[in-house]
């Protein structure tokens, strides 16, 4: 108080005006430290950069067609939002793809029709997800530990049976799912499926009680339980959904590349988690939204496409993805720190005035 008295009054008024929460500058700062807005700016920069570096980047056909390469991961990112939102993690998802694709290959080799193969693929994924969910919620084991074990277990099934062999015989009509376009347009069927699933999952997350419960569980599992939310059931459903969506992704991927090997989708766990975390979903739970994740999906997808166009090797992309994952977690903490400091400053000012 004494110090404040000594300062000229005019200066104090100036400072307090500077941190007025309703001023334009303050609003702008708030807007531009918003995660989705930052991602949007980055996406625009990315487009400007790559269209300058390569004449083939800004091309309707290329931009549509390159989505084939990341739509399966995008689909897997949707339930991963739920899982990370409620404070869990699943690092077995790439192995669920391997298991599900293996099941489809087996079904195809037994002479099943397309509908049967797809059904088997979806069922295998869902069962694998339920398996994870059982250990995490009913036996109450940590999600990271369970999914680390099932990571080898699920892929191990495929590897034990297939060895160095592969399933390559799939019905011709299955190819449409992963390779087809909608009607006569250049819009990939996979992109449409993703947009549809994203709309459904977004609606559940933002407009239903289930979604609100997810936020509640993520903020505090204990508090959510005391508020009467059946936490175990919701976490179990999350893992089951994750399995189902891995099954969908496995159907699309198998149809797109037309073969099943034990090393299918290797390393995708990291990429999908990166998408979700980069999209602004807090790894400690309770924060984030669908929009941010969709931005992250296209940001990363087109980043890889652009880097491929200018002949950067796959390994540079792996490094970039890893760096983005770490930075995406580091940055929000840093931004929160800045915001908190500004708020503290304004409160101090208010109390001195």
Whose Cβ is closer to other proteins: residue 65's or residue 159's?
159
How many CB atoms neighbour CB 62 within 10 A? Answer: 14
φ, ψ at 188 (rounded to 5°): -65, 145
Report, in Å, the least distance between residue 60 CB and other proteins.
Answer: 32
Whose Cβ is closer to other proteins: residue 42's or residue 153's?
153
Nearest to 62 by CA among 230, 301, 293: 301
Distance CA 128, CA 124 (A): 6
| DSSP of 87-155 | T-----HHHHHHHHHHHHHHHHHTT--HHHHHHHHHHHHHHHHHHHHIIIIIS---HHHHHHHHHHHHH
Q: What DSSP character marks residue 23?
A: S
Any contact of residue 81 with other proteins (CB under 8 A)?
no
> What are 139's two structure tokens?
């036996």
Positive or negative, the Cα torsion across 299, 303, 309, 314? Answer: negative
SS3 category, 258: coil
Among positions 146-165, residues that touch other proteins (CB under 8 A) are: 146, 148-157, 159-160, 162-164
Window contacting other proteins (CB under 8 A); options: 4-12, 74-82, 234-242, 319-327: 319-327
Window contacting other proteins (CB under 8 A); options: 103-111, 142-150, 217-225, 339-347: 142-150
Out of 74, 273, 297, 303, name the contact with other proteins by CB under 8 A.
273
Whose Cβ is closer to other proteins: residue 52's or residue 284's?
284
Out of 18, 42, 43, 91, name the contact with other proteins by CB under 8 A.
91
How many CB atoms neighbour CB 148 within 10 A? Answer: 14
Report, in Å, the least distance between residue 315 CB and other proteins.
Answer: 4
Nearest to 95 by CA among 262, 325, 275: 262
Window contacting other proteins (CB under 8 A); options: 39-47, 113-121, 292-300, 326-334: 326-334
Any contact of residue 130 with other proteins (CB under 8 A)?
no
Q: Quick one: how far is CA 144 from the chain centroid?
A: 17
Whose Cβ is closer to other proteins: residue 50's or residue 154's?
154
Check if the beta carbon of residue 282 is closer than 8 Å to that of residue 83. Answer: no
Among positions 205-234, residues that touch other proteins (CB under 8 A) are: none
Out of 140, 185, 311, 351, name the contact with other proteins by CB under 8 A.
140
Q: What DSSP character marks residue 172?
A: G
Distance CA 272, CA 269 (A): 5
Any contact of residue 312 with other proteins (CB under 8 A)?
no
Whose Cβ is closer to other proteins: residue 59's or residue 336's?
336
Nearest to 124 by CA among 234, 233, 246: 246
Q: Tokens 């208010």 label which residue?
A: 350
Question: What character string, x for contact with other proteins (CB under 8 A) and - otherwise, covers 274-293?
Answer: x--x-----xx---------
Any contact of residue 268 with other proteins (CB under 8 A)?
no
Out of 23, 168, 313, 347, name the contact with other proteins by CB under 8 A.
313
Q: Tokens 């004494």 label which residue?
A: 2
Window contacting other proteins (CB under 8 A); options: 11-19, 120-128, 139-147, 219-227: 139-147
Q: How many residues bind other proteins (CB under 8 A)?
A: 47
Whose Cβ is closer to other proteins: residue 284's or residue 348's?
284
Distance CA 11, CA 351 (A): 16
Whose Cβ is closer to other proteins: residue 149's or residue 175's?
149
Nearest to 220 by CA among 287, 147, 281: 287
Out of 55, 139, 172, 183, name the contact with other proteins by CB under 8 A.
139
Q: By the criterion CB under 8 A, which residues form the site for other proteins?
A: 89, 91, 135, 139-142, 144-146, 148-157, 159-160, 162-164, 262, 267, 269-270, 273-274, 277, 283-284, 313, 315-316, 318-319, 321-323, 325-326, 329-330, 333
């Amino acid at each position: 108080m004494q110090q404040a008295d000594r300062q000229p009054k005019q200066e104090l008024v100036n400072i307090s005006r500077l941190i007025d929460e309703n001023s334009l500058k303050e609003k702008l700062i708030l807007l531009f430290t918003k995660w989705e807005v930052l991602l949007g700016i980055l996406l625009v920069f990315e487009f400007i950069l790559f269209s300058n570096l390569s004449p083939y980047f800004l091309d309707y056909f290329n931009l549509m067609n390159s989505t084939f390469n990341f739509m399966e991961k995008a689909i897997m990112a949707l339930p991963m939002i739920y899982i990370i939102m409620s404070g869990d993690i699943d690092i077995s998802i790439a192995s669920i793809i391997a298991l599900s694709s293996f099941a489809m290959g087996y079904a195809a080799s037994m002479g099943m029709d397309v509908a049967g193969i797809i059904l088997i693929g979806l069922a295998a994924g869902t069962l694998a997800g339920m398996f994870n969910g059982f250990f995490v919620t009913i036996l109450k084991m940590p999600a990271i530990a369970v999914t680390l074990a099932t990571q080898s277990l699920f892929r191990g099934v495929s590897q034990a049976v297939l060895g160095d062999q592969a399933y390559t015989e799939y019905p011709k009509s299955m190819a449409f799912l992963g390779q087809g376009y909608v009607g006569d347009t250049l819009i990939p069927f996979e992109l449409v499926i993703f947009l549809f699933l994203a709309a459904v999952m977004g609606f559940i997350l933002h407009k239903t009680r289930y979604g609100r419960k997810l936020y509640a569980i993520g903020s505090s599992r204990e508090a959510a339980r005391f508020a009467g939310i059946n936490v175990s059931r919701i976490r179990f459903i999350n893992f089951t959904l994750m399995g189902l969506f891995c099954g969908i992704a496995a159907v699309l991927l198998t149809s797109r590349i037309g073969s099943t090997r034990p090393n299918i989708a290797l390393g995708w766990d990291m990429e999908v988690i990166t998408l979700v975390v980069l999209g602004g979903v807090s790894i400690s739970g309770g924060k984030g939204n669908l929009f941010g994740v969709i931005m992250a999906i296209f940001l990363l997808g087109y980043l890889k496409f652009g880097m491929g166009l200018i002949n950067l090797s796959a390994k540079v992309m792996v490094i970039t993805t890893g760096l983005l994952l770490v930075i995406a977690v580091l940055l929000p903490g840093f931004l929160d720190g800045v915001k908190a400091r500004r708020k503290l400053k304004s409160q101090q000012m208010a109390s001195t005035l």
